[in-house]
């Protein structure tokens, strides 16, 4: 029994050591995330709406360079963005994907510089990728929010720089009409369905984006009411369009529970759960971090919930360096578990609405620059599209396992005791049994295989061959194509071609920097690109600049 006691003591010492080492991140592990640059939009834009319809990420409206509203939309298919015309401009308008499969689009600014409002309404048909104007709002609006209720009807509320606000209804066919005045004037309020034919409306800012001291909740079928929780905790402020279905707790047609972030006077962030007209704080296994590596995190006012994984994602941006933060909240646990993802500076603080992709990753489209004094620049939006691989990231896939790790640590001594007893009583193995327990070759595990792939790319530079195939890499490593492809997708969040082109662009940049006398035709040929078009397109996708512009900035 002395041997058994030693094992138990050793287990306790191991647990203490692990706790001391990881205590700082016990409740919220911090994980670095690699951003994936996607093909740029055709039109730089901000103030646009973004949604998923027909399996296609789609952006509508907004304003472009010089703060001019754009009458365009774009959808992503076959690896590129396709540009289409809208009937009207919708800068800071609203979009509502309908149960019919079409999308209702309305409102926005009437002129450049964010001036005025419009009545315009149109319908987007994703099957034909066409827009058609058909009617007008009862009240001209910008910075409004909307949600579909029963029978195809849509509730709209919120406005900007207007002396009145109300709740109006789309009848599901053609007409809009005012239903009732609101107790408060609001910009970009939350409009949430709480029954088949009822909604609540509330927000944190008035029609001029000033914070509201008292939060009043309006109800479509009922009287306004106060929420005791909102005396201490206020909804986070944002003028970005929200779709309440994206932060509904359950992915069901008649789910009336939601999660939104709230903040108190000390700046602490929490998650508010809304069940119809009941408001409460969601228990979490620790405080939500408001800084990361000394940087403040500016969280936005909504969440995206991946219902299949049971994870809610809260998006945030850094001060002025373009870092991105994503807080993953495991809502299948009580209390909910937390994991914070962060990125290196992206160069583009993205003031926009991320959408959840079918694979569980987040997509950011467009945005605007942030000046040194922390003010935003509405006159120079960008066309960048960034993929945040939270769903395919190893730490994202294992979020729940990480939250369960501490339970296993607590059980570790008990498990070791049980194992020691089994070993104590176990009979000697036969030769056949010993052979069956031979160590399993783990040389093809994701982490190990990725290291081998990167080592091959760094040392032998196969990417310089313009005809490089994934089968060449697999053959060099003594494995198969499926392993290599799946490993790169899981570890790097991108396909093989994009992974290889990243190496080629880095090689090209080194040539531009250290051999400026080289012609661009020599650069792209030496870097492994098959043609000039692919080189220029890939270079701009990854760096945001043409090779000529990039070279000019380093001269």
**50 and 358 Cβ atoms separated by less than 8 Å:** no
Give the position of tokens 């495991």: 330
Residues of the chain with CATH 1.10.10.60: 446-554
Of 227, 303, 248, the C-alpha closest to 270 is 303
pLDDT of residue 406: 31
The distance from CA 191 to its chain's CA centroid, rounded to whole angstroms, is 21
Q: What percent of the chain has pLDDT over 70?
A: 82
pLDDT of residue 429: 39
Q: Is pLDDT at 414 greater than 50 in this prediction?
A: no
Of 216, 227, 183, 219, the C-alpha closest to 200 is 219
**77 and 33 Cβ atoms separated by less than 8 Å:** no
Sign of the CA dihedral 152, 102, 386, 353?
A: negative
pLDDT of residue 322: 73
pLDDT of residue 253: 54
pLDDT of residue 421: 43
Q: What is the mean pLDDT of residues 162-183?
A: 93
pLDDT of residue 277: 93
The rounded distance, in Å, linking the Cα atoms of 485 and 500 is: 12
**64 and 381 Cβ atoms separated by less than 8 Å:** yes
Q: What is the mean pLDDT of residues 142-166?
A: 92
How confident is the model over 69-104, as pLDDT tens digits? Answer: 999 999 999 899 999 999 999 999 999 999 999 999
Tell me the helices (H) and strands (E) count for the chain, helix number first: 11, 35
Contacts of 202 (CB under 8 A, 6+ apart): 186, 189, 190, 215, 216, 217, 218, 227, 235
Mean of per-residue pLDDT scores for the chain: 83
pLDDT of residue 430: 38
How confident is the model over 499-541, as pLDDT tens digits? Answer: 999 999 999 998 888 888 888 889 989 999 988 888 888 888 8
Q: Which stretch of DSSP H or E encloses residue 463?
A: none
Q: Which stretch of DSSP H or E encloses residue 472?
A: helix 470-477
The rounded distance, in Å, linking the Cα atoms of 392 and 55 is: 18
Sign of the CA dihedral 442, 444, 446, 451?
A: positive
Residue 394: band (very low, low, confident or very high) from pLDDT cuts 50, 70, 90 = low
Contacts of 545 (CB under 8 A, 6+ apart): 539, 553
How confident is the model over 233-249, as pLDDT tens digits? Answer: 999 987 888 788 888 99
Lowest mean pLDDT among 187-201, 369-383, 394-408, 457-471: 394-408
The distance from CA 306 to its chain's CA centroid, rounded to whole angstroms, is 11
Longest Cα separation, the chain? 87
Task: Give 3-state DSSP helix, strand, coil % of the chain, rounded to 5.
Answer: 30, 30, 40
Q: Is pLDDT at 481 greater than 90 in this prediction?
A: no
Tell me whether strands 385-388 and 376-381 are parallel, antiparallel or unpaired. unpaired
Q: Is pLDDT at 21 greater than 50 in this prediction?
A: no
Residue 412: band (very low, low, confident or very high) from pLDDT cuts 50, 70, 90 = very low
Give the position of tokens 């987040």: 362
pLDDT of residue 238: 79
The rounded distance, in Å, linking the Cα atoms of 246 and 368 is: 23
Q: Is pLDDT at 291 greater than 70 in this prediction?
A: yes
The terminus-to-terminus CA distance of the chain in angstroms comes to: 74
Q: Is pLDDT at 400 greater than 70 in this prediction?
A: no
Q: Is pLDDT at 308 greater than 90 in this prediction?
A: no
How confident is the model over 113-128, as pLDDT tens digits? Answer: 999 999 999 999 999 9
Of 177, 178, 202, 176, the C-alpha closest to 188 is 202
**64 and 86 Cβ atoms separated by less than 8 Å:** no
Which of 1-15, 217-231, 412-426, 488-502 has maximum average pLDDT? 217-231
- Paired tokens of 309: 């994984």
CATH T-level fold of 446-554:
Arc Repressor Mutant, subunit A (1.10.10)
pLDDT of residue 553: 81
Residue 136: band (very low, low, confident or very high) from pLDDT cuts 50, 70, 90 = very high
């Amino acid at each position: 029994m002395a041997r058994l006691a030693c094992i138990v003591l050793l287990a306790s010492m191991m647990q203490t050591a692990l706790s001391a080492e990881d205590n700082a991140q016990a409740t919220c592990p911090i994980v670095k995330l690699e951003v994936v640059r996607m093909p740029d939009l055709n039109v730089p834009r901000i103030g646009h709406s973004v949604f998923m319809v027909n399996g296609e990420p789609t952006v509508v409206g907004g304003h472009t360079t010089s703060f001019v509203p754009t009458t365009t939309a774009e959808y992503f298919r076959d690896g590129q963005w396709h540009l289409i015309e809208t009937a009207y401009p919708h800068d800071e308008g609203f979009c509502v994907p309908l149960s019919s499969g079409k999308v209702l689009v309305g409102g926005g600014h009437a002129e450049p510089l964010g001036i005025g409002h419009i009545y315009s309404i149109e319908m987007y048909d994703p099957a034909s990728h066409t827009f058609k104007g058909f009617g007008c709002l009862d009240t001209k609006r910008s910075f409004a929010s909307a949600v579909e209720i029963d029978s195809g009807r849509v509730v709209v509320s919120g406005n900007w720089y207007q002396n009145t606000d109300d709740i109006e209804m789309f009848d599901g066919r053609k007409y809009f009409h005012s239903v009732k005045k609101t107790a408060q004037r609001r910009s970009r309020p939350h409009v949430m369905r709480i029954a088949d034919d009822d909604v609540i409306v509330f927000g944190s800012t008035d029609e001029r984006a000033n914070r509201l001291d008292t939060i009043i909740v309006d109800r479509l079928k009922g009287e306004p009411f106060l929420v005791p929780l909102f005396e201490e905790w206020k909804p986070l402020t944002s003028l970005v369009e929200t779709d309440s279905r994206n932060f509904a707790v359950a992915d069901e047609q008649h789910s009336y529970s939601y999660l939104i972030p709230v903040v108190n006077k000390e700046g602490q962030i929490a998650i508010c759960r809304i069940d119809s007209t009941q408001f409460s704080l969601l228990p979490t296994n620790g405080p939500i971090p408001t800084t990361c590596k000394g940087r403040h995190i500016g969280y936005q006012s909504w969440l995206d919930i991946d219902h299949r994984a049971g994870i809610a994602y809260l998006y945030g941006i850094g001060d002025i360096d373009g870092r991105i933060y994503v807080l993953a909240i495991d809502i299948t646990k009580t209390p909910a578990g937390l994991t914070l993802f962060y990125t290196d500076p992206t160069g583009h603080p993205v003031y926009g609405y991320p959408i959840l992709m079918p694979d569980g990753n987040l997509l950011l489209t467009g945005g605007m620059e942030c000046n040194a004094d922390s003010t935003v620049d509405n006159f120079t939006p960008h066309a960048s599209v960034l993929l945040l691989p939270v769903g395919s990231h190893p730490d994202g896939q294992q979020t729940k396992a990480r939250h369960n790790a501490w339970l296993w640590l607590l059980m570790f001594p008990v498990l070791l005791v049980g194992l020691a007893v089994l070993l104590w009583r176990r009979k000697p193995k036969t030769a056949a049994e010993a052979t069956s327990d031979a160590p399993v070759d783990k040389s093809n595990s994701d982490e190990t295989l990725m290291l081998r792939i990167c080592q091959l790319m760094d040392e032998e530079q196969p990417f310089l061959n313009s005809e490089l195939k994934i089968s060449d890499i697999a053959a060099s490593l003594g494995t198969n194509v499926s392993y290599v492809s799946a490993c790169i997708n899981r570890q790097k969040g991108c396909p093989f071609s994009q992974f290889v082109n990243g190496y080629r662009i880095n090689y090209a940049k080194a040539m531009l920097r250290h051999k400026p006398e080289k012609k661009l035709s020599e650069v792209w040929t030496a870097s492994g690109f098959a043609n000039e078009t692919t080189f220029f397109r890939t270079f701009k996708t990854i760096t945001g600049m043409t090779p000529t512009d990039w070279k000019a900035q380093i001269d």
